[in-house]
Amino acid sequence: MTEDRKLLESFEPGHGFTKEDWDAVSDNPELTEEEMRQARPFAEVFPQFAENIKRGRGRPPAENPKQQVTLRLDAEVIGRFKSDGPGWQSRINDALRKAVGL
């Protein structure tokens, strides 16, 4: 546990869980030293799951990879693309591709 985080001894609201959640797990006993010595890493116990977790993060590779940029556009231009609904970023990309002859 990092120094800037304290271990809660009793329920305090505002930490992302309810009093009912706290009560449901508060009777779990702490691990003994022997249990800690016997503990094994998740990847060792469940190698197939650990591999899936590693591979499952992030966006899948694209055929035509995109590059993130910061670009300032007129509010009217963005408003016009957004007015057509979801997918406005892709429509801007399509318009730029057409403008440069791709």
When pLDDT is cut at 50, 70 and 90, the band that residue 2 belongs to is very low
What's the pTM?
0.41
Q: Tell me: the pLDDT tens digits for 33-60?
A: 999 999 999 999 999 888 877 766 667 7
* CA 98 to each of CA 16, 27, 57, 91: distance values in angstroms, whole numbers, following the listed order: 47, 63, 32, 11
Q: How far apart are CA 11 and CA 3, in angstroms?
A: 20
First to last CA, the chain: 52
